[in-house]
Amino acid sequence: MNFYGVKAIYNFEMSRMRRTLMQSVLSPVISTCLYFIVFGSAIGSRMGNIDSIEYAAYIIPGLVMLSLLMQSISNASFGIYMPKFSGTIYEVLSAPVSYVEVVLGYVGAAATKSVILGLIILATARLFVDYSVLHPFWMLSFLVLTAVTFSMFGFIIGIWADGFEKLQIVPMMIVTPLTFLGGTFYSIDMLPEIWQTISLFNPVVYLISGFRWAFYGVSDVHVGISVGMTLLFLVACMGGIWWIFKTGYRLRT
C-alpha cells in the first residue's frame, strides 16, 4: 500500500475544502438552518409530536442526512471530474499508485468533508431545538458509513459525467426527491398503506430510518434492514468502481 500516494491525493482534496469554506461549509449549513427555521420553528410549532418526539427534533436526522448525501456526492464527483476536465487524470493514472489507492484518496477526502459538515450541522441544530442521541456510537457509524457509500457513488458520477451539467443531474433530479420522499419530514407510518409499501422501494428511507433510530430509538423499518441495505449499496458502488478501472471507462479516452 502506497500511503504516501493516498496521503497526497487526500491532502490535496482536503486543501480544496479550506480554500472554499463558503461553498463547502457555510452554504450547506445556512441552507439547513433555513429548514430548521421554516419546518422546525414555523411549521413545527403547529404540529404535534411524532412517536412522542417533538417535531423540530424529529426532523433533525432527516435534515442531516439530506446534507450528507448531497455533499458526499458533490465532493466526490467534483473531486474526480476536475482532473478529467483539466487532463491531469493521466498523471494520476500513470503514477506509482494502484486504483485502490486512488479511490481511497478521493473517496476518503470526500467522506471526511461530509462527516465534518454533518457534525457541524448537528452542533448548529442545538441553537434551534434540544435533542438527544440515544446511541452515539451507532449515530457516528451511520454517519461515516453513509458518507463513504455516497462518496463512492459520487465518484462514479464524476467518472460518468462528461460535462459540468451532468454532475448535478443525479443529485438534483434523483437523490433530492428521494430524500424528501424518504421520511425526512415525516414518518412513513403516517402515509396510506399503499404509499407505505411504495416508500419501501426508496433506498433513502432505510438511511434516514436507521439514522433516526440512533437518535431516538424509533424507526420506520428495522435497524438491521437499514444497515443491510446501506452495505448492499456500498458493495454495489465498489463493484461499479472496480468495473470502471478494469475497463478504463471514460478514463483512457
- At residue 74's C-alpha, the angle toward residues 97 and 29, to 5°, is 125
Contact criterion met (CB below 8 Å) for 60 and 149:
no
Closest alpha carbon to 63 in 151, 176, 198, 149: 176
| pLDDT for position 212 | 94
Lookup: cell for 158? 464524476
Lookup: cell for 44? 413545527
Banded model confidence at residue 30, pLDDT cuts 50, 70, 90: confident
**Is residue 20 scored above 80 in pLDDT?**
no
Tens digit of each residue's pLDDT (9 = 90 or more) over 161-190: 888 888 888 888 888 888 888 888 888 888
Contact criterion met (CB below 8 Å) for 111 and 72:
yes
Contact criterion met (CB below 8 Å) for 121 and 26:
no
| pLDDT for position 139 | 94
**Is residue 48 scored above 80 in pLDDT?**
no
Gap between the Cα atoms of 205 and 51, Å rounded? 17
Gap between the Cα atoms of 64 and 158, Å rounded? 23
Gap between the Cα atoms of 147 and 135, Å rounded? 18
Lowest-confidence region among 22-26, 131-135, 233-237: 22-26
- Residue linked to cell 470502471: 244
| Mean pLDDT, range 140-148, rounded to an integer | 94
Q: Which residues of 222-249 are buried (b: 16+ CB within 10 A; e: fewer)?
A: ebeebbebbeebbeebeebbeebbeeee
**Is residue 15 scored above 80 in pLDDT?**
yes
Mean pLDDT of the chain: 88
Banded model confidence at residue 119, pLDDT cuts 50, 70, 90: very high
Question: What torsion do the CA atoms of 83, 106, 78, 80 make, to the nearest 10 degrees?
Answer: 30
- Residue linked to cell 491532502: 11
Banded model confidence at residue 44, pLDDT cuts 50, 70, 90: low
Domain limits, the chain:
3-247
**Is residue 199 scored above 70 in pLDDT?**
yes
DSSP 3-state of 50: strand
Length of the chain: 253
Banded model confidence at residue 232, pLDDT cuts 50, 70, 90: very high
